[in-house]
Amino acid sequence: MFDIATLQRHIPASLKNALKPYYRTVFPNKLHVLFWVTFRCNYRCSYCPVVTKFDYTSLFPRSGERTVDEWLGAFAKLPPAMFYVSGGEPFMYRGLPQLINRLDEKHTVLGVVTNGSVDMKVYREIEKPLHLNISFHNEFVSDDELMAKLEQLKEHFHLNVNIVATPANLPMIERVGERLRGRRVSLHVDPYVDPGFTYTPEQKRLLLKYLPPDRRYHLENQLNSSDFAAKSCSAGKNYINVLPNGDVFTCIGGADYLMSPLVRDIVRRGRVEARSLDVYRMGNLFDDSFQLRDEFMECRLPCKSACDFDSAIIKPL
């Protein structure tokens, strides 16, 4: 069957980004699952809101992570879905290759974001065609080490290198992009999003030439942290976030609003009562009573995460 995983191996990154809004109208997998298989990571990048600035393993430790067989049983109950696996470093969950290999055929694994640090024998255990989004963190690995790992990985996977454009990372984007030319590896740059942070005009000019159209929007709007207007959002209906213990949230932004101290000021400024945040929590995938929403939800807090903005359908009310 010709599916998204096959398609993205054979089209340029620019065309793939242009087609992204139409994936769910063309392919049968209507549900998008962002699967946070673990929040554990072997890196502690200075700008990471999941591991360093606020350690999500304090809420979702290894002891609460589910087994491969448990996940397979839970995912079998979902309608056909497109999975994207994130973390932490997903391959810190040792059963990830087996989980991908054994996932019900009605589902598609779009890809896995990884820092590329695990041994090649782990990656080679994956038997399905897969997209790896290699996040480059030069606080822990050099350009040369990255290029050497890409040479090993590209024989087995469709590859993309992702760089978060923090002010410290901006100078290396052009250098890394130049080294990737001719390697059959695309470069994707994400604007840095952090409460209170804005780029200078000079930094914006430098960054714009590296951004695909969807990320240019994020740069111009900085995932507007002052947007408290009422919005209709499909999260919970055709897009969910599944956390390491099976807890399900409509969006990762909503999970942050409920749990992360980094964004509490946004909640206060929006004058949103704590009980209103429960709209983001959908229960646990392992509960017999769990179900997807059958309607769009109303949200009055800013859409603070690029993955949420990419995956949900958001309309003004």
Flag whether pLDDT at 139 surpasses 50: yes
User: What pLDDT score was predicted for residue 281?
Assistant: 96
- pLDDT top residue among 179 and 17: 179
Flag whether pLDDT at 1 surpasses 80: no
Q: Are 243 and 260 in contact (CB under 8 A)?
A: no
230 φ, ψ to 5°?
A: -70, 135
Q: Which of 67-76, 94-103, 167-176 has the lowest mean pLDDT?
A: 167-176
Could you give the domains of the chain? 4-222 (3.20.20.70)
User: What pLDDT score was predicted for residue 9?
Assistant: 53
- pLDDT top residue among 217 and 257: 257
Regarding pTM above 0.85, the answer is yes
Could you tell me which of 8, 31, 17 has the C-alpha nearest to residue 234?
Answer: 31
